[in-house]
Amino acid sequence: MFKLKAAVFNGKRIVLKEVPKPFPEEHQVLIRVRAVGICGTDLAISKRKILTPIPIIIGHEFAGEVIDEKTDLDISWIGRRVTSEINTNICHKCYFCKRNVYSQCLERKALGIHINGAMADYLAIDVNLLHEIPNSVSYEEATFIEPLAAAYQTFEMMSINNDDHIIAIFGMGKLGLLLLQIAKKKGLETIVVDGSKKKLELAQQLGADHLINRHDNAEVPRIIKNMSEVGADIVIDASGSPQALKDVVSSCRSRGKLHIKSTHGEPTRINLTEIVQREITLYTSRCGPFKKAIDALKSNYVIVGKLNTHIYSLEQVEQVFNSYGNNKDHIRTILTNY
């Protein structure tokens, strides 16, 4: 039997393992995975903060080439460069599906979380989940389609109105830097907050108007209030840091919009009393529109190339997870497989 390499969470840690090669079933294609990003979700799985079946192949931010397919398909996908939706097994019948909210489908199974994912040589997946990658977008860049779609969803959940001028984004990791670029394109004045000088410099190159280094400034909300009179109109938390949430809430103006984008993988304290007293509207969001993200990459509307700060091969996955997060300038790691 053909074997393939895969990054498997065995209940204790991520290991590189040989597993049987999948075969495309009805309505499926087989993808040779070329690049896959590591995201906060993968890290949370590896620390057992997000519970999954065990063992499981992780990974959902991927790009690859279709090399085989079941013969029942209307058109052939062989040779095409693709990524796929993260939400699989969509029922098209439940309360949410009837309202086109597939990310909350009651039967949904997320790739690399509920079912085997893409951090492997090969992935078999339903053809109706595929998206073709434009020729001008590399496999490495295309691994951003899923997180960029999620960044778009952040803005789709909030209606920005005439009183919204200033946005503060906490955390200049992968998501923060994507959110920043979308916010700029929406004409918002941007304040970005992070503890890494390198990340703030990159944010500035990508158009950030004001930079605040958390390490040098103990009173971030006060600085933001000085810049904006009453606080930022919109505040997004993309820091993934429970400690930052106090400042995130305090930096938002009364009657402003507060969007918690990061998941923390565990229950987290937030000052609801302050949110209620100051009549702040709380938003959350997760998966988003892939088509919008693909168009943005194709037209260079959003720049992602510089955000892959660490590139390794799939074979190095164990060492990557062992040392993950040790570098505060780290933005994103991808694993390639050529």
Cβ proximity to Zn ion: between 240 and 256 the closer is 240
Identified binder of Zn ion from the candidate list 15, 73, 97, 211, rule CB under 5 A:
97
Cβ proximity to Zn ion: between 105 and 166 the closer is 105
| 3-state secondary structure (DSSP) of residue 290 | helix
- Determine the straight-line distance between the first and last CA of the chain, rounded to whole angstroms: 22
Give 176's contacts (C-beta < 8 A, 6+ positions apart). 169, 170, 192, 194, 203, 236, 238, 239
Interface with Zn ion, residue 50, by CB under 5 A: no
Interface with Zn ion, residue 39, by CB under 5 A: yes
Interface with Zn ion, residue 272, by CB under 5 A: no
Interface with Zn ion, residue 179, by CB under 5 A: no
Quick one: which segment of 15-23, 85-93, 123-131, 208-216 binds Zn ion (CB under 5 A)?
A: 85-93
Angle CA(150)–CA(153)–CA(158) in degrees, nearest 5? Answer: 145
Closest contact distance (angstroms) between CB of 261 and Zn ion is 12
Closest contact distance (angstroms) between CB of 40 and Zn ion is 7
Give the closest residue to 311 by CA, choosing from 281, 293, 276, 335: 335
Give 126's contacts (C-beta < 8 A, 6+ positions apart). 27, 28, 88
Interface with Zn ion, residue 91, by CB under 5 A: yes
Closest contact distance (angstroms) between CB of 144 and Zn ion is 10
Interface with Zn ion, residue 78, by CB under 5 A: no
Interface with Zn ion, residue 94, by CB under 5 A: yes
Q: What residue has token string 């062992």?
A: 322
Strand partners, 189: 166
Cβ proximity to Zn ion: between 41 and 153 the closer is 41
Positions in the binding site for Zn ion (CB under 5 A): 39, 41, 91, 94, 97, 105
